[in-house]
Amino acid sequence: MLSDLRFALRTLAKTPGFTALAILTLALGIGANAAIFALIHGVVLRPVVPVRPDEVVNLFTARQGASRDYRQFSHAEYLALREAQDTFADVAATNAVLTGIGEGQNVRRSFAFFASENFFSMLGTTPAVGRFFSADESRPNASVPVLIASYNLWQRFGGRPDFVGSTLRLNGASYTVIGVTRPGFSGLNALLAPDVWLPLGQFAQFSQPFASATGVQDLADPRTFTLNLTARLAPGVTLANLGTRLPALAQRLNAVQPADLATSRELQFEPPSRFSISTTPSGDSSGFMLAATMSGMAGCVLLIASLNLANMLLARGSARRREIAVRLALGATRGRIVRQLFVEGLVLALIGAALGLLLALWSNDLLLNSLQTLFSTMNFSLAVESTPSPAVLTATCVLALVATVLFSVGPALRATRVDLVNDLKQQGAASAATGRLNRFFAPRHLLVMAQIALSLMLLFTAGLFFRGALAAGDVQLGFEPRGQLVAELDFSLSNSAPQQAAATMFSALQRVRELPGVTAVAIGTQLPYGNVTDMPRFADAAAAPAAKTNPDSPEPGVDALLGAVTPQYFAALGVAVLRGRTFSDNEAQDDKSPRVAIIDEAFARKIFGDQDPIGRRIRYLQPRTDGTPAEMEIVGVCGSHRHDALQRTDRPRVFVPFSHAYQPSVFIHVRIAAQDRAAELAALTAVRGALLSTSPDLPLLLLAPMRDLLDRNIQLWIVRLGAVLFGVFGAIALLLAAIGVYGVKAYTVARRTREFGIRIAIGARPGDVFALVMRQAVLQTVFAAAIGLLLALAAGRLVGQLLYQVSPSDPLVLGIAAAFLTVSALLACFVPARRATKVQPIEALRTE
């Protein structure tokens, strides 16, 4: 084997052009697959639970019958389930909260997770430094100011050895760091991780700013349903028989509910979701579908690269037929020569894999840095690591071996099928006995046609995602982002009382309103294209409650986005008030003022049809937990506008005065007279100064032009990322296909040099020779494109659920992809065909 390796290295060194092109081809194919596998392994395949993950499940509670609504668990329910030792070896509780880490102008808002003291041990993890929570620290209302930091947060503080035992400022209060989680630990989410973990005993301190809006927030109260539960199965319990035990456990839950809230509920379970922290079963089908699609497309790139290299080796094998014939004549066995050629292919594959791995790591670093920047604006840290794991390195080696088998075995077997007499004479021309049909479907031509067909499929799929990205970025917003600045304030980070926070907000509005060039400024609690929504259900207050004959039928009314705003909100956002009026200053600031609402056109159509809604009344379907009136009078109708980047239909909206639905986290919308980019950037400094002049401790988290926030929207980013990734696959496939077409045609022309010289010598014109070469190229390209169209339509059906506002058989994209590939293939044939027209008869005769 060592002698084969040395001979392979010497042989490849003698043909540097072939070797470099082969390695580059393999690097592109293997690199694309290694990059995708590294991402899929880090997000989809890597076990989130470190120890025996198949024993861990998430628990959910749903109302029996009617609406099947889900809710979280109370602390009493958590304890009841934890006592079921015959079913669960352990049960842990978690919840999430936004918190401000740091102080002054260095506050960074981030998610923190509450966790019971047994959460980390149940998952099977240990601290990297320090310790985890104790039972006393997790007891409801214990209020022990301790926290556990994530490994990433520790590194952001320099990884200093005295980090454990130091203090961090959370929402303006000091907390002692008692431990650090291990690198990559993210709880139950494979993609996102909190910066800090807090004991359940701290829950009341972080929920107080929201108490006026959501009622009691005391974990010791059985009416506080706020915990998410995760359980590890007891020995002997499996996912298959767990369902039979849940009805009895549901009875335990029913027994600990307050009498006035008692409802029949049932327990459900599912394996932990890798991408969600929802209180309802969600599953990860979309994530797995995207991973499968990306893997399939990367596999197609590797297959195209292997077909391309197989063609190159077929041509090289033909050139080495005399060498192989000599070796056979001297006594070498066919198996010995096949092994030698296989070793040459393996050397190419290993070098290509090494280069491809570097390419994969570089591209993944770029992607993860982009993701890290994106998620930092969403208050999360990224849990995916970019360092190559043993699994990724092993997969890269396997890819190299698979590529070697794909591109080298067939050409090696064919190269050793020799005619000793003819090959020792080194007949360089193509056999005259080869028929036209056999020449059309020669193995090298079949390989090229397969490349063209697969490339068309990848180009079409990339075109679908690209068109979806264009559709997502070219929708009618319904509001005007140009000339609009947005500032985000979150007074929950400073534990400010609602009255004090509201006074500071209105003072800040006045300061900004006095700036020159500002035409409107207002507060809103929901940001269009933001990541947080509040969608209560509303109904016509005058309509009698509908009698439900089917308990499973949906509740009457309409789910609508609820926003609390101040009077100039619609002018600042750029939305027209079509009928009625906007809110008054008294309504926005006095929570005792009459209950009024402004609705949008979509809500008016759904509730009132063609009737005039002004003066009509609507009501919350579920009474407000803070005891405020449920009915409101409609005083205005505004234009519909989008809230989500991928919103397919208009979401109904209801707006109420800010005082009627106070929230500590708000967005200040500032409308300036100029709409150009330079004016927006110039206004940022003045607006920032006006806001901070209100209070030096103002919890200002963000200030940016609205158009920048739209560009950073995660949904748009995902759609664009899909277009970029699949576009890269398509571009690589197109490049490899063009190289393959050019290589085969150039080799064919070289093999037929004598034939072309004779044709020209007996009177053929250069145009005739050009047409001879191009005719076959056109027919082969058309044949391959026809097969590719069928593959493209099949691929479109497979990825249909991932597309946005694009038909999986979009004729425009299909036509453009087919035309682009056909033109590229024919251009690749043009240079060899033109070369064939310049063959001189005397030179052709010398080729023998």
Kindly give the residue spans of alpha helices, DSSP state H, lying in 377-426: 390-404, 410-415, 420-424
pLDDT score of 846: 61
Tokens read off for 606? 């759904």
- Among 673, 696, 724, give the residue marking a domain's end: 673
Q: What is the DSSP string of 206-222?
A: HHGGGHHHH----TTST
Q: Do both 242 and 341 map to the same domain?
A: no
Tokens 């070369």, residue located: 835
- CA dist 583 → 365, 580, 656, 703, 835 (Å): 49, 10, 8, 25, 78
User: CA-to-CA distance for 384 and 46, rounded, in angstroms?
Assistant: 10
Model confidence band, residue 637 (pLDDT cutoffs 50, 70, 90): very high
User: CA-to-CA distance for 493 and 103, rounded, in angstroms?
Assistant: 10
- Among 270, 303, 326, give the residue marking a domain's end: 270
Q: Do both 631 and 768 map to the same domain?
A: no
Q: Do both 295 and 329 map to the same domain?
A: yes
* pLDDT tens track for 108-148: 777 889 999 999 999 999 999 999 999 999 999 898 999 99
Candidates 751, 117, 101, 178; CA nearest to 439 is 751
> Considering the domain boundaries, does residue 680 fall inside one?
no
User: CA-to-CA distance for 360 and 28, rounded, in angstroms?
Assistant: 9
Q: Do both 416 and 344 map to the same domain?
A: yes
Q: Do both 31 and 74 map to the same domain?
A: no
pLDDT score of 432: 42
> Considering the domain boundaries, does residue 319 fall inside one?
yes
> Considering the domain boundaries, does residue 21 fall inside one?
yes
Model confidence band, residue 405 (pLDDT cutoffs 50, 70, 90): confident
- CA dist 653 → 180, 538, 634, 641 (Å): 43, 10, 12, 9
**pTM of the shown model:** 0.70
Helix (H, G, I), strand (E, B) or coil at 389: coil
> Considering the domain boundaries, does residue 690 fall inside one?
no
Model confidence band, residue 175 (pLDDT cutoffs 50, 70, 90): very high
Torsional sign, CA 83, 85, 88, 94: positive
Q: Do both 524 and 657 map to the same domain?
A: yes
704 with 482: CB under 8 angstroms?
Answer: no
Q: Do both 662 and 766 map to the same domain?
A: no
* pLDDT tens track for 74-87: 999 999 999 999 99
Cβ neighbours of residue 494 closer than 8 Å, sequence gap 6 or more: 100, 171, 172, 697, 699
Candidates 659, 677, 702, 366; CA nearest to 531 is 702
CA atoms within 13 A on the CB side of 83: 11
* pLDDT tens track for 32-61: 778 777 777 777 777 778 888 889 999 988
pLDDT score of 440: 62
* pLDDT tens track for 329-347: 777 777 777 777 778 888 8
Q: Do both 467 and 396 map to the same domain?
A: no
Angle between helices 753-761 and 714-751 (to 10 degrees): 60
Tokens 């203090």, residue located: 167
Mean pLDDT of 468-476: 74
> Considering the domain boundaries, does residue 681 fall inside one?
no
508 has a pLDDT exceeding 80:
yes
Quote the percentage of the chain above a pLDDT of 70.
Answer: 82
Q: Do both 793 and 819 map to the same domain?
A: yes
> Considering the domain boundaries, does residue 678 fall inside one?
no
615: left (phi over 0), alpha (psi -120 to 50) or beta: left
Number of structural domains the chain divides into? 4
Q: Do both 746 and 840 map to the same domain?
A: yes
pLDDT score of 429: 46
Torsion angle defined by CA atoms of residues 659, 661, 662 and 663, in that order, rounded to the nearest 10 degrees: -160
> Considering the domain boundaries, does residue 435 fall inside one?
no
Beta strand 631-638 with 265-270 is unpaired
Mean pLDDT for all residues in the chain? 81
- Among 245, 270, 295, give the residue marking a domain's end: 270
Model confidence band, residue 639 (pLDDT cutoffs 50, 70, 90): very high
* pLDDT tens track for 515-529: 999 999 999 999 888
Query: 656 phi and psi, to 5 degrees?
Result: -125, 160
pLDDT score of 243: 86
> Considering the domain boundaries, does residue 293 fall inside one?
yes
User: CA-to-CA distance for 719 and 731, rounded, in angstroms?
Assistant: 18
* pLDDT tens track for 413-426: 665 665 555 544 54
Q: Do both 40 and 57 map to the same domain?
A: no
Q: Do both 456 and 585 map to the same domain?
A: no
User: CA-to-CA distance for 673 and 516, rounded, in angstroms?
Assistant: 9
Domain that holds residue 817: 440-475+712-848
